[in-house]
Amino acid sequence: MSATTPGTPSPPTVGALLAAGGHSFSFEFFPPKTDDGERLLWQAIRELEGLRPTFVSVTYGAGGSTRDRTVRITQRIAEETTLLPMGHLTCVGSSVAELRSVIGSYADAGVRNVLALRGDPPGGPGSPWEQHPEGLAHADELVTLVRSLGDFSVGVAAFPERHPESASLDDDARVLLAKQEAGAEFAVTQMFFEASHYFAMIERARALGCTIPVLPGIMPLTNINQLERFAILSGTAFPDDLAARFRAVADDPDAVHALGVEAASDLCQELLDGGAPGLHFFTLNRSTSAREIYTGLGLGASASA
Ligand SMILES: NC(=O)C1=CN([C@@H]2O[C@H](COP(=O)(O)OP(=O)(O)OC[C@H]3O[C@@H](n4cnc5c(N)ncnc54)[C@H](O)[C@@H]3O)[C@@H](O)[C@H]2O)C=CC1
Ligand SMILES: Nc1nc(=O)c2c([nH]1)NC[C@@H]1CN(c3ccc(C(=O)N[C@@H](CCC(=O)O)C(=O)O)cc3)CN21
């Protein structure tokens, strides 16, 4: 049954849950391309459901290529699970009319939480950004659009180590403030591997008047091939000392996995101890690492409030 069914109370929004305080824990998935991938996704969702995360999110692929799948998966999460879904949305390759239509689909699907992003350039991270001729240039404009179209709780991206196209870390702080002023209620960060980057970013943002909660995005490294891939996605190098520790056990997949869980757990603990409002895990549609970290940190289901 849809969350919008008359008589059924709407669940609280992500923004409201974060504003209520307590730690938030969330998991991010991507829309799979194959039937096998789809089975793995639902298996991971079911396995993580028992941890009672605050919310789960589904990414929006390059050029809107996953538009229908992202909406369909978030709708099914809303209708068939106990989880609160957030759908991602990007400006890439879409006119404003098309963006309005996707936002309408989210509303029809009972999805009220949206992560509003500009998104990666059509050629992938690192290539030049191309605005759609009838589209939007920056995420703050998308925040304004989503907020204007309904009762949505809107989140945005934040960058502890500088967005690859930004001139400076201070520019990123100003952009985050612009997103808040456009109506964003919370932010999720790009992946990073040293807590100091997160805390320094929070200080820069707070100094400008940014008050929204910023959830750290956690990417556990679970195989050695991800070292390079994550550097490309995040636009920053993986720290040398940590990379060396991974390379030393590169021939032993179990040891790489164990080290990945250990490194991510240490990072999570440092973030929570330092006052982060929660943790957002990029799961890559697998539940194992996230569950191991979650359990290792001693975060039972009771911590999800
Ligand atoms: N597809 C998905 O589901 C996801 C995509 N992403 C990402 O989306 C990222 C880009 O999106 P956002 O961070 O939302 O983009 P953004 O629009 O906030 O920033 C993109 C660039 O434009 C600049 N900028 C932003 N607003 C501006 C303004 N008003 N005036 C002048 N310059 C401005 C920023 O400094 C930055 O260099 C990608 O790099 C990637 O990390 C992140 C998470 C999930
Ligand atoms: N630059 C950038 N773009 C993003 O879309 C993005 C970020 N950063 N950082 C935060 C999260 C993490 N996201 C990710 C991270 C990894 C994969 C990934 O490994 N994808 C596989 C394809 C998987 C498949 O389709 O089967 C890949 O090989 O790229 C996808 C989205 C989405 N988000």
Complex-level ipTM: 0.92
Query: How many domains does the chain divide into?
Result: 1
Q: Residue 150, SS3?
A: coil
Q: Is residue 141 in some structural domain?
A: yes
pLDDT of residue 122: 86
Q: Is residue 7 in some structural domain?
A: no
Say which residues have a Cβ less than 8 Å from residue 282's Cβ, sequence separation at least 6.
Answer: 28, 191, 217, 218, 219
pLDDT of residue 1: 44
Catalytic site residue 28? Answer: yes
Structural domain including 266 reads: 14-291
pLDDT of residue 71: 95
Cα separation, 12 vs 209, whole angstroms: 26
Q: Is residue 260 in some structural domain?
A: yes
Q: Is residue 231 in some structural domain?
A: yes
Q: Is residue 9 in some structural domain?
A: no
Q: Is residue 297 in some structural domain?
A: no
Q: Is residue 243 in some structural domain?
A: yes
Q: Residue 25, SS3?
A: strand
pLDDT of residue 278: 97
Nearest ligand 2 atom, CA 34: 26
pLDDT of residue 101: 96
- H or E element, residue 87: strand 85-90
pLDDT of residue 236: 86
**pLDDT for 1-24, tens place per residue?**
444 556 667 899 999 999 999 899
DSSP 250: T
Query: Which residues of the chain have a pLDDT value below 70?
Result: 1-8, 62-64, 300-305
- CATH number of the CATH domain containing 175: 3.20.20.220
**pLDDT for 223-238, tens place per residue?**
999 988 998 999 888 8
Q: Which ligand ends up closest to the CA of 131?
A: 1
What phi and psi values does residue 279 have, to the nearest 5 degrees? -140, 140
To test the ligand 1 pocket, which listed residue (163, 190, 191, 192) has its Cβ within 8 A of the most ligand atoms? 163
Q: Is residue 276 in some structural domain?
A: yes
